[in-house]
Amino acid sequence: MSAFVVSQQHIEAMLKAAMTYGRQGGFHWLAPEARADSDFERGQVWGPTSVATARRCRRELDSDTLNETGRMLLTENVRSVCHRYDEPMDSTDLPGPVGFSLAEATFSSFHVAMHTPLLEPVAVLKAIACYEYQSCEHPDWEGSESKAFCEALRHAAINALPGYDEADWDIG
């Protein structure tokens, strides 16, 4: 399996889709964290610590967190490629964009809003698949916040597909 660093434009397209297709007050995801037994209570909707855990794990994408989120996604991708090719994180010889520097990468909410084209939901799903394929090479991917972001974005893109809201929830 090969891997490459996706372009900054790829990450920006995912960020714009998240900000656009997020529902009910914006786009958010839950950072992975081990759940305590007290987060669950048999026969109840929630356990006594579930609300505190959810608040602690909740991440939200907005203009204030866009750069941090973009850097998180890009760093995860670089970590994967470096792991795959046994390179240090500061390597400048990774497959991907020419002249790429993780240290210099920034994500501007103005640039994303004004200059990044909005992908159709099906193209967002393909962009997520590409990003995940390039970012899953290291052993910590499964428990990463970037994977949780991708899962939330996938659900948002599916919900934005034409006809999704009109389709029956239960068949039969």
Residue 166 lies in a domain: no
**Section 149-166 average pLDDT:** 96
Q: Which residues contact 151 (CB under 8 A, 6 or more apart)?
A: 29
31 contacts 68 by C-beta, under 8 angstroms: no
In this prediction the pTM is: 0.91
Residue 164 lies in a domain: no
> Which residues are paired to 155 by β-bridges?
none
Domain count, the chain: 1
Q: How far is CA 77 from the centre of its chain?
A: 11
pLDDT tops 70 at residue 1? no
What residues make up the domain containing 116? 8-27+61-159
Q: For the chain, first and last CA: distance in Å?
A: 42
Q: How far is CA 95 from the centre of its chain?
A: 21
Residue 34 lies in a domain: no
149 contacts 132 by C-beta, under 8 angstroms: no
**Section 52-79 average pLDDT:** 94
Residue 32 lies in a domain: no
**Section 31-57 average pLDDT:** 84
- The mean pLDDT of the chain is 92
Residue 55 lies in a domain: no
pLDDT tops 70 at residue 45? yes
